[in-house]
Amino acid sequence: MGRENPAGQPYLILALVILSVVVLVPPGSADTDTETAAAHLLKGDDLMLRKMYHEALIEYEAAVTGDPYNTIAWNRLGVAHMRTGRNEDAVLAFERAIELDPYYSEAWTNMGDSLAMLGEYQEAIRAYDRALGINQRDIYALLRKGMSLQETGDSTGAMEIYQEVIRLADLEMRKHPNYASFDADIWTNKGDALSRLGRYEEAVAAYDTALGINPKFERAEQGRIKAMDAILLSRSNPELVVRVTDENTSQPLPTIVPLSGTLVLGALVSAGALMILLHRKS
């Protein structure tokens, strides 16, 4: 009875392992999927910059299909959903990103935005609180929490938050002036908070700085237009300016208080009677 050579067994086992890998795993399949997903992600980012949101949505969907564990891709997919008005789908995408990475503060903030757009302000506040628990320096999340508080009727709490946003923005600008000079976000956040407090001229100055850094920053553009409208209206007739909330952007807008029909009719009748009286005397 022959005896096996123990020294040859490791080589035989190694050969079988290599053979199984070659046969069962297609060469470079995992790398190919990841690289393809990354390519879709980059293409989606480019389309978002060009405001081609529906096309970007398709690319991000392809990215998460190819790499379902890519948290960045899920977050970007959620943003694309928001840009195309699919806020419920956006929430689902952000939830998936957070499931994969519970400390992904940006996804928490974005989920808060999508919930706020759906009118679920209490849920939005909870999402912003989670983001702030991870990153206390997230001034945007703090600002948006204030806006959601205002929507729930807590104006006092909202005003306190807007003051804190301004304080933190100024503190960040003093501590990191070189960084702040290239950060349009921080200036826009400050402008939004100032506008919310009715300090429109200061808000315009902040928006101008933001647009000097990034002339195409849409949020700064919109905020500046609304602040300028409020300034012009207040100069023409301060008593007719009332701060209200725009449904789409949650930014303060001026509105004109309408005069009642009875008052207008009474004024016309009085004026007519006065003219007749003066005519008779002459």
How do residues 29-48 score in pLDDT, each as one tens digit?
Answer: 445 778 888 899 999 999 99
Alpha-carbon span 196 to 215, nearest angstrom: 22
For the stretch 221-257, pLDDT in tens is 999 999 999 999 888 765 544 443 443 344 333 322 3
**Interstrand relation of 242-245 and 252-255 (parallel, antiparallel or unpaired):** antiparallel
Question: Could you tell me which residue, 188 or 281, shows the higher pLDDT?
Answer: 188
* pLDDT, the chain, mean: 81
Per-residue pLDDT at 27 exceeds 80: no
Q: Regarding predicted confidence, which is higher, 272 or 106? A: 106
Cα separation values, 76 from 69, 105, 131, Å: 13, 13, 17
Residue 249: the pLDDT is 41
The superfamily (CATH) of domain 143-255 is: Tetratricopeptide repeat domain (1.25.40.10)
28 or 76: whose pLDDT is higher? 76
Q: Report, as an integer, the average pLDDT of 266-280.
A: 47
36-136 classified as CATH 3.40.50.300: no
More confident residue, 250 or 205: 205
Higher per-residue pLDDT: 211 or 23:
211
CA distances to 205, 217, 220, 256 from 230, in Å: 14, 20, 15, 11
Q: What is the pLDDT of residue 108?
A: 97
Q: What is the pLDDT of residue 31?
A: 59
**% of the chain beyond a pLDDT of 70:** 73
Locate CATH 1.25.40.10 in the chain. Answer: 36-136, 143-255
pLDDT at 36: 87
Q: Give the SS3 label for residue 93.
A: helix
Contact in structure between 78 and 84 (CB atoms under 8 Å): no
Residue 3 has pLDDT above 70, yes or no: no
pLDDT for 135 beyond 60:
yes
Percentage of the chain with pLDDT > 90? Answer: 65
pLDDT at 236 (0 to 100): 77
- 23-27, 101-105, 174-178 — which one is most confidently predicted on average? 101-105
- pLDDT at residue 259, rounded to an integer: 34
Q: Burial, 13: exposed, middle or buried (Cβ in 10 Å; 0-12, 13-18, 19+)?
A: exposed
pLDDT band at 210 (very low <50, low <70, confident <90, very high): very high
Least confident of 55-59, 77-81, 255-259: 255-259
pLDDT of res. 235:
82
3-class DSSP state of 216 = coil
CA distance 116 to 159: 18
